[in-house]
Amino acid sequence: MTPKDCEHIAHLLFLAYTGEITSEQQEELTCWLKEDKHHDDLHRIIMDHERIRSEQEVFLLFNQQKAWAKISQKTYRKGKMRYTRILRYAAVFICLISVSVYFLYPNKPEEKIEIAELFLEPISPKAILQNEQDVRISLPGQCYSIKDIISHKKQLETSEILRIYVPKGGEFELVLADGTRVWMNSETELKFPRAFTGDKRQVELVTGEAYFDVRKDKAKPFIVRNKDLDLTVLGTQFNIQNYSDEHEIITTLVEGAVQLSANKTVLHPGEQATYNKTTRETQVEMVDTELFTAWREGRLIFKSTRLEIVLKQLSRWYDVKFEYEEEGLKDLIFSGKMKKYDNGNVILGILKATGKIDFIQQDSVIHVKRQ
């Protein structure tokens, strides 16, 4: 499919989205939709108004000037539209659609990018409860409580410590015995007791990332243990990231107060502590907490973030491996807001549309190269 064909289909999809498509154009679009299942998938994505608004916002953040300069010229050739505001919206919209169409029909066979179909399908929400044997549990869109987990295997009723592991592509929400809610991100392992006893409530984040909404209990402080660092709270909301393959433990406080075992550092709302596992030093700074907690709502928010961090998050969400053609690509900076799409190709399309990077599939690896 040529770039000109892509642009034509994008124009038809745009007219369908705005409700201005003619019967003749609709007939042409219908024929195109029936040609391939992927066409219909793209059509459903385009008709999702909330998704398009989100993508438009991301694209404008990434490349507003370039998109406007490039597309507005083409639009003016076909006839001036009455209002510049409408033209700007149409320009960005059509560019976004064209990106999606392009990924379905790349021009160069050697650069065929069907990564979404092969590797970027999200894995169903799941977790593995490990005691004497693995118990796979999965309730998409629901939250598990301790009672739910115990009911899966009768022998768990007498178990002291339970362990849940969320693999790549999964997310999990859990309510502990005291009512504390825990959101677990991909590749996260948590150990916790069947019931809290004694004068403290203690869990262990073995690896990964989790958001805690701790039930207040002044008589029993809540402690999150890590291999290198412990956090003590009475009642608060915070996010902690501690993947075993990374050199830092990042704690972000949303509300309440948290004390880190290292140097007895106390965090206040809006503060983030970064603990270096090698030097054992802790740095505290004020941050926008939404940047570090949006993942539990199925969103990615980046602000002047290195590409390596962006793609590392995607690799956990979609269980895919990225390799860089050159090390310098990891340091490219991106900003934007994205949703966790059913088809991760949307996100890669937006990143590609910045004009900075390209993605090429080779076997089971997605190679990142400079455009």
Q: Which two tokens stand for residue 336?
A: 């934007």
pLDDT at residue 318, rounded to an integer: 80
**What is this structure's pTM?**
0.63
The residue with greater pLDDT, 296 or 88, is: 296
What's the confidence (pLDDT) of residue 362? 78
Give percent of the chain above pLDDT 90.
23
- What does the pLDDT look like over 175-199, one tens digit per residue? 888 888 999 888 888 888 888 888 8
Question: What is the C-alpha separation between 93 and 164, in angstroms, rounded?
Answer: 42
Distance between CA atoms of residues 262 and 306, nearest Å: 27
Convert 316-330 to b/e letters by CB count within 10 Å (16 or more is b): bbbbbebebeeeebb
The residue ranking higher by pLDDT, 366 or 102, is 366
In-domain check, residue 78: yes
State the pLDDT at residue 329. Answer: 92
The answer to the question of residue 118 being in a domain is no
Whether 330 and 257 share a structural domain = no
Residues 228 and 142 in one domain: yes
CATH code at position 155: 2.60.120.1440
**Residue 71 binned pLDDT confidence (cut-offs 50, 70, 90):** very low
Domain assignment present for 113: no
For strands 222-225 and 201-213, give the pairing. parallel
**For the chain, first and last CA: distance in Å?**
20
Of 287, 313, 332, the domain-final residue: 287
Which residue, 337, 356, 366, is CA-closest to 116? 366
Q: Would you tell me the crossing angle of helices 84-104 and 345-352 to the nearest 10 degrees?
A: 120
pLDDT band at 211 (very low <50, low <70, confident <90, very high): very high
Per-residue pLDDT at 142 exceeds 90: no
Give 313 or 51, the one with higher predicted confidence.
Answer: 313
180 and 268 within one domain = yes
Looking at per-residue pLDDT, the higher value among 70 and 286 belongs to 286
Residues 146, 187 share a domain: yes
Flag whether 122 is in a domain. Answer: no
User: Looking at the domain assignment, is residue 112 inside a domain?
Assistant: no
The last residue of one of the domains, among 255, 287, 319, is 287
| CATH assignment of the domain containing 358 | 3.55.50.30
Check whether 46 has a pLDDT greater than 50. Answer: yes
**Domain of residue 67, residue span:** 3-105
Is residue 115 assigned to a domain?
A: no
Q: Give yes or no: residues 150 and 246 share one domain.
A: yes
Together in a domain, 241 and 139: yes
The stretch 280-292 carries a mean pLDDT of 93
Query: Do 273 and 306 reside in the same domain of the chain?
Result: no
Distance CA 39, CA 148 (A): 41
Do 298 and 282 share a structural domain? no
Identify whether residues 69 and 183 lie together within a single domain: no
Residues 34, 55: one domain?
yes
Strand partners, 278: none
240-263 pLDDT tens trace: 999 988 899 999 999 999 999 877
Whether 61 has a pLDDT exceeding 50, the answer reads no
52-61 mean pLDDT = 47
> 143 versus 7: which is more confidently predicted?
7
Task: Please count the structural domains in the chain.
Answer: 3
Residue-level pLDDT at 132: 38
Torsion of CA 233, 236, 238, 243, to 10 degrees: 40
Q: Which residue has the tokens 């902690």?
A: 240
Residue 50 and residue 7 share a domain: yes
Count CA atoms within 13 Å of residue 270 on its CB side.
2
- What does pLDDT average to over the chain? 73
Residue 119 inside a domain? The answer is no
pLDDT band (50, 70, 90) for residue 50 = low
Residue 234 lies in a domain: yes
Domain shared by 207 and 259, yes or no: yes
- Supply the pLDDT for residue 356: 84
Q: Averaging pLDDT over each range in 112-116, 144-148, 209-213, which range is the top one?
A: 209-213
Domain boundary among 287, 305, 321: 287
